Structure 1
Amino acid sequence: MDHAALNDISDVQTLRAMVVEKLQVIAVHEQTIAQRDHTIAFKDAKISKLTHEIARLRRVQFAAKSERMDPAQRELFDEAMAADIAALEAELAALKTPPAKPPTERRPAPRRPLPPELPRIETIHEPASCDCASCGAALVKIGEHISEKLDVEPMKFFVRRDVHPQYACRACETIVAEPVAPAILDRGLAAPGLLAQVAIQKYTDHLPLYRQEAIFARHGIELSRTTLAEWIGVIGLRLQPLVDALRTRLLQSPVLHADETPVAQLDPGAGKTKRAYLFAYRSADGPPIILFDYCASRAGKYAAAFLDDWCGALMVDDYGGYKALFANGITELACWAHARRKFFDVHKASASPLAKEALERIGALYAIEAKLRDLDAATRHRERQRYLAPRLDELKRWLDDLSTKVLGNTGVASAVRYTLRRWSALARVLDDGRHPIDNNPIENAIRPIAIGRKNWLFAGSETAGQRAAAIMSLLATAKANGIEPHAWLTDTLTRLPTTKDRDIASLLPLA
């Protein structure tokens, strides 16, 4: 075969190899495109699914806003919905294509600055070398970038050692030493800070003792729930003088809120639990004072016993247990929020235009009251006569006229009857600038009990319930006065053993 023929064969083989190589490249590209198309289709489907799921959850969240729920259920529902929506939105954000404009053009969402009083742990990230990696010249600092992120350390235990040196005088043979200060727990191993932690986790953070026992064990501290329960018992006993002083201060207020909520109490003889009650009282003026009174039942005699010879204006719901108090000189105040709720329930159930108008009329009362909130009692009374009284007169005439037109077995009729039956007590908001418009402050104070009672499971006895009420009263009052409970309770448990009875009031958690 001549040389030209060999060259032709070589060219054909080379061309064939090039074609094969090109086909392989094309096949790889086609496979890459197919994978990309598959990924895009998958992401589009996932984005669509997540978008619809977020929309569905938001509809459920919006629809549930007006449903009547137990406060504990409401908080759990809101937390669960917020967590689900946030998780889906984060997943959706990770799937979506970044925006076309440069990231530097985006305005970051503003965030609240971290509290300045928090300690700062600073880490400086210096370059590996002080010389330029390109030319070797010395680097010159021209500024710095600072980012702050909130962090936390798990519960930290430490041992507090109190050392009392003893000195002797050889001349007169006497020994000198600082006396050991009395403590809440004689010969106990718990310092005031730990006692405060256990009490606050149980009654403010709603952690039952068996959960606290497990948390302590994770940190290498073996504390049985029996020991923790004994501490709680002693704390409640020692704090009772403060509760008595707080009650004395509360009963000096001319206007009070009152409400009650059920709790379970262990009934060993029957082998189950029985229903007991926490009566709650709150001052309506001055530094807020909240007191819980643990009672065996809901009978009105317990409210009468707590209030004793107090005679003022009492804001309550329509529970019959309080009626005897009003026959003995106490002035009854009724809650406009309760009256509004009657019409609200009817409007949500039937979209009644009459219920809607009632809500608008009551809303006008609240709009006026909001403008008077920061006034002193005398000025508020004067302004109520000027602005609130005409609105109340109009509402009363409208309700009287409506009562003759609505059917007796309808929801609107029931709401109208309730409001008119309670009218004299509802209208007493005009009698004194100190009279509140509703009972919401005490209902807000009771709301955490609904969460706590699910975690406490039950009170072991009436005495245990009274101790719990004492601790919760002081912590709720501290919270209402804007006082950090752990710092206050630690300080109080430290000072209490050496505080004289006449000085107990100096320990109260009042602003």
Structure 2
Amino acid sequence: MTIEELQVENQRQKEKIASLEQQLGQLLKLINGFRSERFSSSPPLPGQPTLFAVPEESVPQEEPAEEHISYSRKKKAHKGRNALPEHLPVREVVIEPEEDVTGLKKIGEEISETLEYTPASLVKRRTIRPKYAKADGDGVLIAPLPTRPIDKAIVEACLLAHILTAKYIDHLPFYRQIRMFKRDFGWEPAQSTICGWMAGCCQLLEPLYNALKQKILRSDYIQADESPIKVLDSDKKGSAHQGYQWVYHDPVQKLVLFNYRKGRGQNGPKELLAGYSGYLQCDGYTVYDKIGADPKITLAGCLVHARRKFHDALDSDKKRAQLALGLFKKMYMAERAIKEEAPDDFGKRKVLRDQKIKPLLVQIKTWIGAEQFKVLPKSPIGKAMAYFLGQYPKLEAIFGDGRIELDNNLIENAIRPMAIGRKNYLFCGSHGAAQNAAILYAFFGSCKMRGINPREWLEDTLKRIPEHSIQKLEELLPGYQTKV
């Protein structure tokens, strides 16, 4: 081989080694525990120990000279125990002295408040409807049965809301709930029965789910992301099918939509977003680029995903990675101050961002332009730089509207409950069950975004929706309910 060929081969091997080292580092982080992305460019304070510092006894040191230091400081007052919530019901217990108090004058009392727990109760509701024979012998008079969410089922709306909230908010699979019912109440429903109740609820809620979808798509700014979910498929033996929950979030209206699809291709989001016009905030997944080809859609990027690439490069090129992370940190500190100054004034927020944050974004781009040819393209820092430059038009689009967030963190927070839940129930039983889960995750995610108790919302909605006008379904969405 010639010298030029050897140099090319040497370069290729260096890139391959750097890429493998980076992959190995990421795997080790995942194996060893949670991967924090917190970055601090400040050195530790003098004398402050570090977690991985070499023990002092293992390092030879000279005998230190004795030094006596004395000082005084004010002791910080303890805030004390948190006050108990005022809205809790109170059960008063009066304890009189054992001695005879006849003729004694009461001068006061000592009050101590503690908490006790009353276990949930399962109540058998018996509805009695008296029957009356009409005077003329023309039939029988009896009151109609109240409407229930699932006709002819033994379950009321409050129990349905409890079961579904326990699974999709508290991550308790149905089989665990059945064991709890048996242990606490001696009642053991069949799992197929509870699955049937869930399907019945989702069938009832489907029109409201479609109303939620249309309300989000009428917005002109939404965020999008996707997350995998295992699904049992009768046509696929030996392993579960890898499905995807596509998630769409409206940060302004604080509404979330989950939409199940069998794959991660463009057909699902392209079908759902047909006719959509406005900003679509997303990561660098290529499917979004194809959707963004529609002239009515403007893609906005995610600073967190761009930042994450530089965080991953800390181990291989600390100096360059720290410089980039320091600039990202300044952007987020400025964003925090801007939101405090203009919490609801999006026009003012845009002006302040153009003044304080956008120059930092341009600074990173300029720095990468000067440094990218000094690093290996396939090294972690090289990949981080390439990703940033590839996403730069989308990142720049963030500053086109003051409503647009700097990143997709809000939608990732909406996905997190599903990620925790699938570790407990592992998979969905069918593609239909996965879409039913999407319906419930959509409503529960919207409840979370709007600060609404999901169990109370679901119970109220299941009671009202059977007889609610189809033209006024939006009134039942989380946060939009009208009192009856």
Q: TM-score range by the shorter chain?
A: 0.7 to 0.9
Q: Structure 2: which amino acid aligns with 1:297?
A: G
Residue 22 (structure 2) aligns with: none
* Paired residue secondary structure (1:272): coil
Residue among 223, 232, 241 paired with 1:274: 241
Q: 1:155 aligns with which of 116, 120, 143?
A: 120
Residue aligning to 2:466: 497
- For residues 115 and 284 of structure 2, the distance between their equivalents in structure 1, rounded to whole angstroms, comes to 47
Checking the alignment, whether the CA contact within 8 Å between 1:253 and 1:284 is kept in structure 2 is: no
What is residue 328 of structure 1 aligned with on the other side?
Answer: 294
Report the counterpart of residue 256 of structure 1 in structure 2.
222
Q: Quick one: which amino acid aligns to residue 291 of structure 2? A: L
**What is the TM-score when the length of structure 1 is the normalising length?**
0.75
Shift in Å, 1:359: 0.8
Cα gap change, 1:266/1:502 in structure 2, threshold over 3 Å: closer, same or farther? same
* 1:119 corresponds to: 89
In the alignment, which residue of structure 2 is the partner of 1:398?
367
1:172 Cα offset (Å):
8.8
Matching residue of 1:318: 284
The alignment-based identity, stated in percent, is: 35
Q: Which residue of 2 aligns with 1:201?
A: 166
Match 1:346 to one of 313, 329, 334: 313
1:413 aligns with 2:382: yes
User: Do 1:256 and 1:284's aligned partners in 2 also have CA atoms closer than 8 Å?
Assistant: yes
Deviation at 1:176, TM superposition (A): 4.8
Deviation, 1:400, is 1.6
**C-alpha RMSD over aligned residues:** 2.3
Q: CA deviation at 1:428?
A: 1.2
Question: 1:357, CA displacement in angstroms?
Answer: 1.3
Partner of residue 44, structure 1: none
Note if contact 2:233-2:431 (Cα within 8 Å) is conserved in structure 1: no
Give the residue type in structure 1 aligned to 2:347: A
Indicate conservation of the 8 Å contact 1:276/1:296, yes or no.
yes
Please tell me the residue identity of whatever aligns with 1:150. L
**TM-score, normalised with respect to structure 2:** 0.79
Q: Which amino acid aligns with 2:107?
A: I
Q: Aligned equivalents of 1:199 and 1:247: distance in 2?
A: 21
Deviation at 1:285, TM superposition (A): 1.3
Return the letter of the residue paired with 2:355. R
User: Is it true that 1:143 corresponds to 2:108 in the alignment?
Assistant: yes
CA distance in 1, matches of 2:405, 2:92: 49
1:264 Cα deviation (Å)?
0.7
Q: In the aligned structure 1, how far is the partner of 2:405 from the partner of 2:399?
A: 10
> Which of 365, 381, 392 is 2:331 aligned to?
365
DSSP-derived class of the 2:377 partner: coil
Deviations 1:458-492 (A, max 9, x none): 11111111111111111111121111011111111
Is 1:223 equivalent to 2:189 in the alignment?
yes
> What amino acid is the match of 2:406?
I
**Which of 307, 327, 337 is the aligned partner of 2:273?**
307
1:97-108 equivalences under 5 Å are: none
Q: Structure 1: 5+ residue runs without aligned partners? A: 1-66, 76-104, 132-136
Q: 1:430 to 1:225 in 2, by over 3 A?
A: same
Q: Write the letter of the residue equivalent to 1:123.
A: V
Deviation at 1:159, TM superposition (A): 2.2
One-letter code aligned to 1:197: H
Structure 2 counterpart of 1:448, from 417, 432, 439: 417
Deviation at 1:321, TM superposition (A): 1.7
Q: Does structure 1 conserve the Cα–Cα contact (< 8 Å) formed by 2:173 and 2:425? A: yes
What is the aligned partner in structure 2 of residue 237 from structure 1? 203
Q: Which has the larger radius of gyration?
A: 1
Q: Is the 8 A contact 1:258 1:316 kept in 2?
A: yes
Q: Equivalences for 1:161-172 in 2 at 5 Å?
A: 161-167=126-132, 170=135
Q: Does residue 253 of structure 2 align to residue 283 of structure 1?
A: no
Structure 1: distance between partners of 2:478 and 2:29: 34
Q: Deviations over 1:405-457 (max 9, x none)?
A: 33334322221111111111111111111221100011111111111112222
The correspondence of residues 65-80 of structure 1 with structure 2, limited to 5 A, is 69=30, 74=34
Give per-residue Cα distances to partners, 1:76-101, cap 9 Å, x unaligned: xxxxxxxxxxxxxxxxxxxxxxxxxx
Which residue is equivalent to 2:62? none
Displacement of 1:174 in angstroms is 6.9
Write the distance in 2 (CA, Å) between the matches of 1:383 and 1:500: 45
- The 8 Å contact of residues 295 and 302 in structure 1, kept in 2 or not, is answered as yes
* Cα deviation, residue 138, structure 1: 4.5
Change (3 A) 1:198 1:127: same
Change (3 A) 1:210 1:386: same
Residue number in structure 2 paired with 1:192: 157
- The equivalent residue for 2:63 is none
Q: 1:409/1:458 Cα in 2 relative to 1: closer, same or farther (>3 Å)?
A: closer
Structure-2 separation of matches of 1:272 and 1:69:
24
Deviation at 1:262, TM superposition (A): 0.7
Question: What displacement does 1:346 show?
Answer: 1.6
Pick the aligned partner of 2:179 from 186, 193, 214: 214
In structure 1, the partner of 2:144 is 179
Summarize deviations over 1:44-77 as a string: whole Å, max 9, x none. xxxxxxxxxxxxxxxxxxxxxxx9559xx759xx
Distance across 1 between alignment mates of 2:376 and 2:124:
72
Tell me the distance in 2 between the aligned counterparts of 1:186 and 1:282. 33
**Letter of the aligned partner of 1:283 in structure 2?**
D
Instruction: Give per-residue Cα distances to partners, 1:122-147, cap 9 Å, x unaligned.
Output: 2222212343xxxxx84433333323
Partners of 2:78 and 2:333 lie apart in 1 by: 36
Give, as a single letter, the amino acid of the residue that structure 1 aligns with 2:174.
L
Could you say which residue in structure 2 is the equivalent of 1:509? 478
Separation of aligned partners in 1, 2:78 and 2:130: 59
Deviating more after overlay: 406-415 vs 446-455 = 406-415
Relative to 1, partners in 2 of residues 1:74 and 1:353: Cα closer, same or farther, differing over 3 Å?
Answer: closer
Q: For this pair of structures, how many residues does the alignment match?
A: 407
Aligned to 1:480: 449
Q: Is the Cα–Cα contact under 8 Å of residues 133 and 141 in structure 2 kept in the other structure?
A: yes
Alignment partners' CA distance in 1, 2:316 and 2:376: 15
For 2:178, the aligned partner's letter is E
Whether contact under 8 Å (1:408, 1:414) holds in the other structure is yes
Give 2:312's aligned amino acid.
Answer: D
CA contact (8 A) 1:210 1:225 kept: yes
